[in-house]
Structure 1
Amino acid sequence: MARGTIIRAVQPHVLMADLTEPFAYSQAWYRRRGAMLVEITTEDDITGWGEAFGPPELTAPIVTWLAPLLIGQDAIAREALWQALYNRLRDHGQRGIVVEAISAIDIALWDIAGKVLGEPVHRLLGGPLRMEIEAYATGFYRRERDDHLAYLTEEAEHRLSEGFRTLKLKAGWGLAEDIALTRAFRAAIGPDVGLLVDCNHAYDAPAAIAFGNAVAPCDIGWFEEPVPPEDIDGYLEVKARQPIPVAGGEACFARWGCRDMITRRAADILQPDVAACGGISELKKIADMASAFGMRVNPHVWGTGVALAASLHLLAVIPDNPPGLFPRAPLLELDRSPHPVRDALLVDHIAARDGRVAVPQGPGLGITIDRAALDRFRA
């Protein structure tokens, strides 16, 4: 192996910031938002960046524990390193924070590989099918106010003015309230705006089925995480007994964690997260598995510009399902909820123009980290 690709250092960065206005999804309130980034440096001072989905204070120690397995190894040997890391903790961490930590490391290794070879990651993945991705706006969370429809409608007007054509509404506040809010929100935004609904596994199967049937006339593009991620039979019930396409998979880890959802066709749209499912290496395998079963793939994206850039490179190469002259290309989830770390981290911010986001063209992930932001938000 070339000396320049030998790993010299592995450094986790835990970043945290208070929010001016807290917000909630169906499972918890956010009063702070953070990130766990991994910086990997080679003997030739080539640096790669990765990001883990999940609590930063939990994923960072896993990276620290795994670091000695990486030091002195060839950064280009991504597959061998992934297997070594996963196998070392296989008895203890086949999902959750262990795989999230490995995800960050894998993303950083792909960043290094692209920089060593002078190519963007999407070219290393086989070359792009598309260089611009249509984005939908994620946000529309619960705030500590009583006028829910008013502030959600105000947010919708703002996102539509930015050029977004599809919005994702958060649900999970109680079945009757969710039905009423979804109907009112659809009436407020009008019939021509794409609408997705995500309840973050707040329901069991009977409630999810009741919700789906009640709001079906609202023309919902997909119903995300209707039941807990462990409940594959519940997914199958919801998919069979209400008409809205079912999406899920952000809480599935590695190819084995996605296997049952894919082979049993438990969802219409699979949503692995690059910063959670095992990184770029693993999400590509998962997407190829899903393609073999005719399942659409729309990656979940939540985090800073590191995870966003990695997701864009994958979205550039994920195949159309089905292929044809008039394909249905995957969408980019663009989080528009408050996140001070995300907004300050990159030297050149990744942004949508007229609701579309360009795939980065620089070597590796094609991003530059603002080290002043690392100091500013260091926990």
Structure 2
Amino acid sequence: MRGTRIRSVTPHVLMADLAEPFAYSQAWYRRRGAMLVEVVTEDGIVGWGEAFGPPELTAPICAWFAPLLVGQDAMAREALWQTMYNRLRDHGQRGLVIEAISALDIALWDIAGQALGLPVHRLMGGPIRTEVQAYATGFYRRERRDHLHYLTEEAEARLEEGFAILKLKTGWGLDEDIALTRDFRHAIGPNIGLLVDCNHAYDVPAAIAFGRAVADCDIGWFEEPVQPEDLDGYLEVKRGQPIPVAGGEASFTRWGFRDMITRRVADILQPDVAACGGISELKKIADMANAFGVRINPHVWGTGVALAASLHLLAVIPDNPPGLFPRPPLLELDRSPHPVRDALLAEPIGFAGGMVQVPQGPGLGISVDRAVLKRFAA
């Protein structure tokens, strides 16, 4: 096995302007970026990680952690995770600190796989599956008034690409959301899977009213109906309307998901590998959820680094429940504009017929184009 002592930790902040701004229920995006962290061993193995969250804020936290990691054995992932978490435990049990730890943990898994000549999913005992069905995330608000028209055009493009499941963004006002959801379902027809995500735009009464009003639209899940801190609100929404409730992209670590799981506040949990604590922590969350019979469908909204890490996890998450006719977890595949994401990998991850292949190369199984790092350096 090649030497795995850590020589350097380097954050990369990348940013690009968008040709056309878009919005979700909480904010407009006019630029999109990423924070990648590059961890290099003394023998020259390069591991890549990614943090979900504002790149300008997660990068200095990764840099702050660097002295704790340099000189340590990159193979000691669990020990290093505990070192980082405990060092800022009094100040960062959730949010930016955990997002930075997530990026570093992903990079350490990438190094371990390369050092051993194995893909990450093999290190975790897989694969259970070598390809994953993807649903298309997008369908955001644009600075136009013909919302149904451009959303329908986007749906047609995604269906041509092979997607069979689409996720509609809502959160524009209760009456408008009800009308838009019903019209969008009519536009795409009854045979296409439809998910709805309001990014915690509602309070409990509005979320229940929305779920009841669109219950006949055959919606696979109702994502983030209320604010992520409001677990009692999640329970009320889950009990008050018939659509399965999903959430968890804004929750962190096994401790953050413990109450969601034991109280059964959601039907589907959505930890993000680049936010919840990395590959190490998401695997623990998934195993804990499986013991309680709760479904896991990871949230994914980053570059090819986060996508690859998510695919390795999806390769080993058990069917829930198991059987001859399982319902395997889905991959969220972001199709909204992201110039950095589209250019970053030297070889894009394979997608065809609605299915995404789990990378088979050592580590994450990806190669970052260093010219892109320079091109989009913030």
Counterpart of 2:68 in structure 1 is 69
Residues 238-280 of structure 1: CA deviation (Å, up to 9, x unaligned): 0001000000000000000111100000000000000000000
In 1, Cα distance between equivalents of 2:101 and 2:233: 29
User: What is the deviation of 1:335?
Assistant: 0.1
Secondary structure at the residue paired with 1:21? strand
8 Å Cα contact 1:166/1:193 also seen in 2 = yes
Secondary structure at the residue paired with 2:34? strand
Counterpart of 1:92 in structure 2 is 91
Residues 344-370 of structure 1: CA deviation (Å, up to 9, x unaligned): 000001242010000000000000000
Is 1:220 aligned to residue 219 of structure 2?
yes
8 Å Cα contact 2:2/2:115 also seen in 1 = no
- RMSD across aligned positions (CA): 0.7
In 2, Cα distance between equivalents of 1:151 and 1:160: 14
User: What is the deviation of 1:3?
Assistant: 7.5
In 1, Cα distance between equivalents of 2:282 and 2:2: 29
In 1, Cα distance between equivalents of 2:374 and 2:3: 27
Secondary structure at the residue paired with 1:317? coil
Residues 32-82 of structure 1: CA deviation (Å, up to 9, x unaligned): 000000000000000000000000000000001110000000000000000
Aligned sequence identity (%): 82
Query: TM-score, normalization: structure 2?
Result: 0.99
In 2, Cα distance between equivalents of 1:3 and 1:222: 45
In 1, Cα distance between equivalents of 2:138 and 2:145: 17
8 Å Cα contact 1:138/1:336 also seen in 2 = yes
Aligned positions of 1:130-209 closer than 5 A: 130-209=129-208
In 2, Cα distance between equivalents of 1:28 and 1:349: 29
Is 1:317 aligned to residue 302 of structure 2?
no
Counterpart of 2:281 in structure 1 is 282
In 1, Cα distance between equivalents of 2:257 and 2:205: 24
Matched pairs, number: 378
Secondary structure at the residue paired with 2:352? coil
Q: Which runs of 5+ in 2 are unaligned?
A: none
Query: TM-score, normalization: structure 1?
Result: 0.99
Q: Which runs of 4+ in 1 moved over 3 A?
A: none
Aligned positions of 1:1-379 closer than 5 A: 4-379=3-378
Secondary structure at the residue paired with 1:5? coil
User: What is the deviation of 1:322?
Assistant: 0.3
In 1, Cα distance between equivalents of 2:257 and 2:18: 33
Secondary structure at the residue paired with 2:72? coil
8 Å Cα contact 1:3/1:43 also seen in 2 = no
In 2, Cα distance between equivalents of 1:206 and 1:87: 39
In 2, Cα distance between equivalents of 1:315 and 1:6: 29
Residues 190-230 of structure 1: CA deviation (Å, up to 9, x unaligned): 00000000000000111000000000000000000000000
8 Å Cα contact 2:139/2:168 also seen in 1 = yes
User: What is the deviation of 1:306?
Assistant: 0.0
AA of the residue aligned to 2:347:
D
User: What is the deviation of 1:127?
Assistant: 1.4
